[in-house]
Amino acid sequence: MNEPLAERLRPQTLDDYLSQSHLVGKTGVLTQQLQNGAIASMIFWGPPGTGKTTLANIIANESNRPFYTLSAINSGVKNIRDVIDKAKQRGGLFTTKNPILFIDEIHRFSKSQQDSLLQAVEKGWVTLIGATTENPSFEVIPALLSRCQVYVLNAFDKSDLEALLKRAIKEDDSLSKRNIKLKETEALIRLSGGDARKLLNAFELIVTSFTSDEKIVITNEIVSEKVQNNTVRYDKTGEQHYDIISAFIKSIRGSDPNAAVYWLARMIEGGEDVKFIARRLLILASEDIGNANPTALVIANNTFQAVSIIGYPESRIILSQCATYLATSPKSNAAYEAIGKAQQLVKDTGDLSVPLSVRNAPTKLMKELGYGDNYKYAHSYDNNFANHEFLPEEIINTTLYNPGNNTRENAQREFLKQRWKDKYGY
């Protein structure tokens, strides 16, 4: 049988569909739309193998609508217009049975290709269903996104995947004739990564590796033996890229070195650019650690320089050292908060004049105009400090930098209190 198992088991009705109960359960939004007969244009966003194409087919079948499909990989504007012209002949503005146009991997469409869909969706010539593995906020033009509902499909959980395996053994014409026992499923489920298609393809590969009369006992060992090592799903330019680096940074910020090295490993195994990881560590060292431990910035900078020269695979060790050091370092975002407050103050108050006393006076005219008058040179005073006003008059006494509560910054606060106790309120 040439047709893959995943295709043979593709559900034909909502009743057969596993998972995504928030969409297709008894009170799911898509269930309600099908019952009411009013199908809105929509975009399905979710990982591979979560049933986006299947749902589009089911919606078309159960709503009894003409169904057209395009793949963004091999379709251009002309293909889109041809399909829209056909759809206009079958449906239109004054019917609720307008055709469905399904576009797989809609995120691959260029802006002009997406623009070509706008009128058809706006006029109701078609009901658009797009499928994407990437965040529509980034990959779909705002005008088209505003005309569609976005529904998130989640990776299949363990119970869904086990139910799918049992269904395959029981209902598939080929597998139901084999003597198959599911003893262990952990390795298969781990291999799938929540992708139902990948699970079924791996399962079929294992089953067909046995002769037709053999008893097949599925164990974790058998799966490891029969299926090659799993390739980590990681798109260096897509949603996984942003989600995993976010988890990595937040783990370090949250002082969890175990989570930090896990997410680091995910990026390394996915082939992430070593300089990208090191740059983010460099930013974090200042943003989230700052003056609580200034050495963090030095180590992060040295890490960036080192991995830029060395590359993979050895860079993984240097990145791990840096990530675990930063994760276990005292934390402070005081410097980050200070510059944010200062920038907002500049936006709110505009270009305030620099006090004359701290202006530069390189010419005779400037000196005659009072530039630099009454400036107190700090090194001419005790403890290299003079109580002088450096801010514009309109914002004097404004506190922007508030040291964090840690050993080093508490010492900074005491230093500032001694010098500015009557000014900034430290």
**pLDDT at site 93:** 45
Is there a common fold for 239-327 and 344-420? no
Q: What is the DSSP string of 141-172?
A: -HHHHTTSEEEEPPPP-HHHHHHHHHHHHHH-
> Is the torsion defined by CA of 286, 291, 293, 295 positive or negative?
positive
Separation CA 134–CA 107 (nearest Å): 7
Separation CA 120–CA 126 (nearest Å): 6
**pLDDT at site 239:** 57
Instruction: For Cα atoms 357, 359, 362, give the angle at the middle one, nearest 5 degrees.
Output: 120
**pLDDT at site 128:** 94
Instruction: Please confirm whether the linkage preceding 313 is cis (ω < 30° from 0).
Output: yes
176, burial (CB in 10 Å: exposed 0-12, middle 13-18, buried 19+): exposed
Contacts of 182 (CB under 8 A, 6+ apart): 162, 165, 166, 169, 218
Q: Is the distance from CB of 106 to CB of 43 less than 8 angstroms?
A: yes
DSSP letter at 354 equals P
DSSP letter at 70 equals E
Buried/exposed code over 301-325 (b: 16+ C-beta within 10 A; e: otherwise): bebbebbeeeeeeebbebbbebbbb
Tell me the CATH number for domain 158-226: 1.10.8.60
Count Cα neighbours of 403 within 13 Å in the Cβ-side half-sphere: 19
Separation CA 375–CA 386 (nearest Å): 10
Q: Is the distance from CB of 71 to CB of 129 less than 8 angstroms?
A: no
Structure-block tokens of residue 282:
């460099």
Alpha carbon 412 to its chain's center: 37
Q: What is the DSSP string of 379-420?
A: GGSGGG------S-GGGTT-------SSHHHHHHHHHHHHHH
Neighbours of 370 (CB within 10 A): 12
**pLDDT at site 370:** 84
Weakly modelled stretches of the chain, pLDDT under 50: 92-94
**pLDDT at site 151:** 93
Separation CA 50–CA 195 (nearest Å): 6
Separation CA 423–CA 399 (nearest Å): 9
Contacts of 261 (CB under 8 A, 6+ apart): 320, 323, 324
Separation CA 408–CA 230 (nearest Å): 46
CATH 1.20.120.160 fits 239-327, yes or no: no
Separation CA 229–CA 227 (nearest Å): 7
**pLDDT at site 234:** 57
Q: Hey, is 376 helix, strand or coil?
A: coil
Phi, psi angle pair for 179, to nearest 5°: -90, 90
Phi, psi angle pair for 279, to nearest 5°: -65, -40
Would you state the CATH architecture of domain 344-420?
A: Orthogonal Bundle (1.10)
pLDDT digits (tens, 9 = 90+) for 130-147: 999 888 888 899 999 999
Count Cα neighbours of 160 within 13 Å in the Cβ-side half-sphere: 20
The residue among 332, 320, 329, 321 whose CA lies nearest residue 295 is 329
**pLDDT at site 94:** 44
Q: Is the distance from CB of 236 to CB of 277 less than 8 angstroms?
A: no
Phi, psi angle pair for 157, to nearest 5°: -85, 180
Q: Hey, is 149 helix, strand or coil?
A: strand
Place of tokens 């020269």: 309
Separation CA 275–CA 308 (nearest Å): 6
Find residue 69's DSSP bridge partners: 102
Residue boundaries of the structural domains of the chain = 20-152, 158-226, 239-327, 344-420
The residue among 43, 55, 48 whose CA lies nearest residue 17 is 55
Whole-structure pTM value:
0.61
Superfamily of domain 20-152: P-loop containing nucleotide triphosphate hydrolases (3.40.50.300)
